Structure 1
């Protein structure tokens, strides 16, 4: 729809946008790290911090020095009803609240304080500790607060199954794989550690949180009858297997096999530890692996344990609100996306982006190391990981973002060794359905989510629209800038053009098959439909002219974005949309989601479209001065997704580089430049 602004008003809006853009550039330049990269806090719920406190308590590490700071942070995240949720403004969660309560009690918070009383009331009203998830049960069991008999069986022998078996360690997603391996060791030993009230296999430290503390051996999944009634064959089979394993003492009694399996499991874990102590660059494998090494007899000052604890400590973040532990760190992701934002706003300070991309390129993984090699042994490496230290698990989404950052900044980079290696690796990671997942290929055995310990539906890494859309955008930009073969040497991206085009055709088919009846796409790694739809549209823009299929997909997607624009001109979507597409989908406008909505529209519509102008006006008005280094956009809500409906992420810089991209693309559109 045409603009409702006259020429003068349009000029004023462009002037306001350019001023906002300059202020956003000032903020980006003021927040860059000394060596040229960006790294913002990655927030999650309080369970990550609580579980780190559990580890320090279990191993007898000091908690007095940082205890007050941890308490301040945990208490600052409590909801008015006494609960802790999966994210700010999210309903309370009994598992999260139980872990927060235990952590606070370990840190000497009085149980009669109003905060603890409200938390206890919430937990009891939610059904008590008996209702917590399996992973929380395991943490409680390590302190004797839950019987180990009420935890699913995890035999270490799983590590021995070869990669060609229907079920083996490599059939699980990378994050699950790295977490399960140390859990096999933990569940083998079934340790019980001391709490402030002492050590007991039946500790009464949290008995006030049970509806019936005399019966703690509560089931952890549906009954066999319920599974049969629901005709859940996979769930039934795994539950029967779990009961058989329980009767066999988890295979612990088989001579020679268990010791061998434990050695192989520890070797598997040790082989994946970085020199810095990290495992997979994320908290759960790092946290669990420290437990595993200690249980297998390693001392606290032995290198794997000492470095592992140091790596966990490097995940901490402290400010005036207290100290907490991040689930991960995101420097490569932040630097790539900030570089894209600066390129989109045509930053006059090109050296800052040159320096940032030099920093990123130095982290390209060019050695064939990592679990992705198991099912792609002949694929040349070339990916980028998300974190500072993670050589085993390059991230497909990050790698596509790095391609975009390099080519947007300098079109000639399309022929660079870095971009060619990255694109070649991504090509080899495409799934048979035409889409891409985050870390793995053909990791789609969803029946694994029926395993009893999987109560978060997160054991697989399947294709998703948001990553596929970003790769289409990266490949589309490469195709646009690839020169004719006659003008380039044999190392040119021209030689990749047939493969790029073929992959994009398959990716477009994938997006066509996954588009919702509403016109939207599900967002796997960002909340939610606005994220998936925006990324799909940004990728499809490069193929609209030559593909009738794309031209058919785009209009309903644009209509969906417009229909979900808030009255104030921005966009907002609740995390509750992961529970039901019709529940809580609309929310107050947020900077990152408003930027996603705008970028999706700008990819296919003129900047004078009314919906675009309203969104731009909202973003300009929402910008605020930031710490004396320019301006940014305040955002409290989390719009990043770890596991839908189970774990969410708050990327601090999402509030900045995505709005910067959107405003930059608007100005480019107004100036008649290529978006």
Structure 2
């Protein structure tokens, strides 16, 4: 086993060395189905920006992803197909002008859409896109009064009760919905055949009585304002402009920038205005080329990947003095964020010190990227004052972001007000609030224990442990928000608890280990379906994946003092998967929006196996 483990570790190190860019970063793709590809085609056609070469290459990829039955899926084992993805792909291909609607697979796609209930049954964000482009009436459940943006933070239902990534989507959508704005062109397809439900028959937006009263009372406090509606649109415009990054995008998110562009058009901006042109160019810059196609990323994961890879390589024995690590950590040091962002509203005493996900992201750092970057640069901090200062700032910021309940959020502290998640919008609880989750809490504890020298006697660590204990599932697992899902959360919780001194024989850890053992597959690996994310219960995948196998094995390695047969089989499965290139190695194991948005990180098949194998070697060999 030792030779096989060493050979695979060396293979992965060599592969990562080849893929490092000259600036020290790793530019792996963040693949999010076909949504961004389709939306960019629709956006370019709507703005009458004829970038034909880009449109044609996106068309090729979208067509390649179509199933033999004419549908599009968002993950391999999705039954039949995904209605929203199929509508988005079908619409974009028609709008491109490069696909004949009478092609057999296009006819099949159209029939699938009709059979599933048509446009009225797609996801809310798909309806927003259709409404902005004149293919659908504005949904009633988005007609919240624009005046809400004038409410200051202390008043309930103010926009800052929503987490940042929700705000930057909601504000432009509220502008479009309140303006009832839509934009069609002479090339717009006619999707009327796909609209099967009369407007009057669609379920009407109804807030609960107490929500209506809350909004009414809040808006009454604006009664002294002159022209509050006009002022609200101005405030909404300022909100967007103040959060545009240097590359022209809003918060470095494709989807937020897409709706922002249409919102600015609704406010009177011309299609060729500087702000819109720069935003479009920013979205184009999110193109990622692979061996076979070009795809548009929702958020380039360069900082995340670079920090994870630097950390993983060092765990594998690559010394900090190696040029790979030197260049990577210099890149990371330059990307520490020093600006105050919206996170400050709920954490006013903290100073900036975090890292973001994408290179252009300067105002929206997050806990996960920060703790991974701190792991990567820790050794530098021992002998270089600039790294020490950065490390201290990052660690202090991380501790300051702990929620009142003891867990850690992803982006903003204490943005977990329940009433914001009770809007009558399907899946709203997953996007409006940023509560504590097991993956963030576990990984933060792992950092604090293994890299900051804290243990279970530290007050913040104690609170984090209590949160994890209280939120463990009955079967022993934990739900992870940003990975698929229970394997991810359970790995994060176990490794975090172990790092801060919880013994392996603790009942909570033993229960979690028994759950992991119970779901190991015959090939020695682990695999979990994206269906788990929507159902909020573990659903096995019919095969093992590299990242999920690595997470499970890494959790077991943290607990056991010697290599058990289960661990040995898992390690062998990881080595075997490293030789494969099929749907198992391209299955999305990153989570975005439950039921709608899943992420294939092209880096994951290298990073997580390298970490698990390295931990196996350092502990057992």
Q: Which of the numbers 460, 474, 479 marks the counterpart of 1:503?
A: 460
The separation in 2 between residues aligned to 1:438 and 1:17, in whole angstroms, is 34
1:36 aligns with 2:12: no
Query: C-alpha deviations, 1:124-163, integer Å up to 9, x for none?
Result: 1111212122222222223332223656303221211101
Map 1:284-295 to 2 at 5 A.
284-295=255-266
**Whole-Å separation in 2 of the counterparts to 1:220 and 1:45:** 29
Deviation at 1:241, TM superposition (A): 9.1
Tell me the equivalent position of 1:328: 299
Q: Kindly indicate whether residue 341 of structure 2 is the aligned counterpart of residue 386 of structure 1.
A: no
Answer whether contact 2:352 2:393 (CA < 8 A) is retained: yes
The structure whose Rg is larger is 1
The offset of 1:446, in angstroms, is: 3.0
Q: TM-score, with normalisation over the residues of structure 2?
A: 0.92
- Corresponding residue of 1:533: 490
Q: What runs of 5+ residues in structure 1 fail to find an aligned partner?
A: 1-12, 199-203, 225-233, 481-496, 627-631
Give the equivalent residue in structure 2 for 1:444: 416
CA shift in 2, pair 1:177/1:526, >3 Å = same
- The secondary structure found in structure 1 opposite 2:324 is helix
SS in 1 for 2:102: coil
CA 1:559–1:466: 2 relative to 1, 3 Å: same
Question: Residue in 2 aligned with 1:565?
Answer: 520
User: What SS class does the counterpart of residue 281 from structure 1 fall into?
Assistant: coil
C-alpha distance after superposition, 1:224-268 (max 9, x if no partner): 6xxxxxxxxx646558999x99xx9xx9xx972222111111111
Matches of 1:451 and 1:102, distance apart in 2: 29
The CA deviation string for residues 426-459 of structure 1, in whole angstroms up to 9 with x for no partner, is: 1111001110010011111233223245644321
Give the Å deviation of 1:560.
1.1
Describe the shift of the 1:81–1:238 C-alpha distance in structure 2 as closer, same or farther (beyond 3 A): farther
What residue is the counterpart of 1:70 in the other structure?
58
Superposition pairs of residues 368-387 of structure 1, within 5 angstroms: 369-387=340-358
Aligned-partner Cα distance in 1 for 2:372–2:187? 50
In structure 2, the CA distance between the partners of 1:646 and 1:241, relative to structure 1 (3 Å rule), is farther
Is 1:182 the counterpart of 2:172? The answer is yes
1:111 paired residue number: 101
Could you tell which deviates more after superposition, 347-356 or 152-161?
347-356
Kept in 2: contact 1:273–1:279 (CA 8 A)? yes
> What SS is found at the alignment partner of 2:182?
coil
1:210 to 160, 170, 195: 195
| Pair 1:635-2:591 in alignment | no
Supply the distance in 2 between the matched residues of 1:240 and 1:107 (Cα, whole angstroms): 46
* Separation in 1, partners of 2:490, 2:300: 26
Deviations 1:100-131 (A, max 9, x none): 11111111222211221111121111112121
Give the 3 Å change call, closer, same or farther, for CA 330–197 of structure 1 in structure 2: closer
Determine if the alignment matches structure 1 residue 298 to structure 2 residue 269: yes
2:323 match:
351
Decide whether the 8 Å contact of 2:287 with 2:297 is kept in 1: yes
**Contact map agreement 1:152 1:452 (CA 8 A) in 2:** no
Q: Which residue of 2 aligns with 1:267?
A: 238
What is aligned with 2:598?
648
> Given that residues 544 and 584 in structure 2 are in contact (C-alpha distance below 8 angstroms), is that contact kept between their aligned partners in structure 1?
no
Distance 1:454 1:355, change over 3 A: same
Residue 464 of structure 1: aligned partner:
437
Q: Would you say the 8 A contact 2:132–2:262 is kept in 1?
A: no
| SS of equivalent to 1:472 | helix
Separation of aligned partners in 1, 2:296 and 2:213: 38
Query: Is the 1:146–1:216 contact (alpha carbons within 8 Å) kept by the matching residues of 2?
Result: no
CA distance in 1, matches of 2:400, 2:161: 18
* Paired residue total: 611
Greater relative contact order: 1 or 2 (C-alpha under 8 angstroms, separation 6 or more)?
Answer: 1
Alignment of 1:525-674 (within 5 A): 525-544=482-501, 547=502, 551-580=506-535, 584-624=539-579, 635-671=585-621
Give 1:395's aligned residue. 366
Query: Would the aligned equivalents of 1:519 and 1:553 in 2 still touch at CA under 8 Å?
Result: yes
Change (3 A) 1:551 1:149: closer
**Residues 103 and 217 of structure 1: is their aligned pair in 2 closer, same or farther, counting only changes over 3 Å?**
farther
Deviation (angstroms), 1:521: 0.6
Aligned pairs for 1:479-494 within 5 A: 479-480=452-453
Per the TM alignment, residue 498 of structure 1 is displaced from its structure 2 partner at its CA by 9.3
Partner deviation per Cα, 1:559-605 (whole Å, 9 max, x = no partner): 11111111101111111122335663243101011100111001111
2:27 is the alignment partner of 1:55: no
Residue in 1 that maps onto 2:183 = 193
Unaligned runs of at least 5 residues, structure 2: none
2:566, 2:250 → 1: CA distance? Answer: 45
Correspondent of 1:429 among 388, 401, 414: 401
Q: How does 1:202-281 map to 2 (within 5 A)?
A: 205-211=190-196, 215-220=198-203, 235=208, 237-238=210-211, 256-281=227-252
Is the alpha carbon distance of 1:149 and 1:596 closer, same or farther for their aligned partners in structure 2, counting shifts above 3 Å? Answer: closer
After superposition, the Cα gap between the structure-2 partners of 1:34 and 1:479, relative to the gap in structure 1 and judged at 3 Å, is closer
Counterparts of 1:574 and 1:455, CA distance in 2 = 18
C-alpha distance in 2 between matches for 1:619 and 1:379: 41
Aligned pairs for 1:406-425 within 5 A = 406-407=377-378, 416-425=388-397
The partner residue of 1:84 within 72, 75, 87 is: 72
Change (3 A) 1:338 1:548: closer
**Separation in structure 1 between the aligned mates of residue 380 and residue 82 of structure 2, nearest angstrom:** 44
Cα distance, 1:311–1:126 mapped onto 2, change above 3 Å: same
Separation in 1 of the partners of 2:615 and 2:432?
37
Q: Would you say the 8 A contact 1:622–1:633 is kept in 2?
A: no
Deviations 1:272-311 (CA, angstroms, capped at 9, x unpaired): 1122212211112211222222332333443322221111
Tell me by how many angstroms 1:373 deviates: 0.8
Decide which moves more: 282-291 or 327-336: 282-291
| CA 408–16 in structure 1, closer or farther in 2 if over 3 Å, else same | farther
CA–CA distance in structure 2, aligned partners of residues 412 and 514 of structure 1: 40
